[in-house]
Amino acid sequence: MKKLLAILHCLPMVMVASFPISEKPKIKTKTYHTVVAENNLKKPIFKHKNVFKFFLFSAIAGLIMAFYGILSPSWSDISIGIFGGFLFIASIFGMALNYLLKRINKKLSY
C-alpha cells in the first residue's frame, strides 16, 4: 500500500516534468516581405512614371516652340511653330495612351 501511495504521489511530478513550460509559443505571421522572400519575387519596375516624364517635357518643349513660332516677327519661323504644335499634340496623345495602359495593367494585376 505504501508503494502504491508513493507511486501515486510521484506520478503528478513526472507528468508535469514531461511538458516544457518555459518555452514561449511561436506566432507565425505572414507579411508581404515574407511572401516575397519565400517566392523570390522581384518588385516590378514602374515604367509608366518615366514615360510620363518624357512626354511631359516634350509637350512643354513643343508648347514653347509653338509660342515662339506664333509670336516671332519673322515669317520664316512659322515652320518652328507648326512643328512645335505637332510635337505638343503628339506628346499629349502619348501621355493619354500611357495613362490608359497604366490603368489596364492595374486592372489585369488584380
Q: Which pLDDT belongs to residue 25?
A: 64
Residues 6+ apart with CB under 8 A from 56: 91, 95
| Spatial separation of the C-alpha atoms in residues 53 and 46, rounded to whole Å | 12
**Residue 103 pLDDT grade (very low, low, confident, very high; cuts 50, 70, 90):** confident
What do you get for the CA distance between the two ends of the chain, in Å?
73
The pLDDT tens digits of the residues spanning 7-62 come to: 666 555 555 555 556 666 666 666 656 666 666 655 555 667 788 889 999 999 99
**Residue 104 pLDDT grade (very low, low, confident, very high; cuts 50, 70, 90):** confident
- The better pLDDT of the pair 15, 109 is held by 109
Helix (H, G, I), strand (E, B) or coil at 53: helix
Burial code (b: 16+ CB inside 10 Å, e: under 16) for 6-27 equals: eeeeeeeeeeeeeeeeeeeeee
Q: What angle do CA 88, 94, 96 make, to 5 degrees?
A: 105
**Residue 2 pLDDT grade (very low, low, confident, very high; cuts 50, 70, 90):** low
In the block, residue with C-alpha cell 512659322: 78
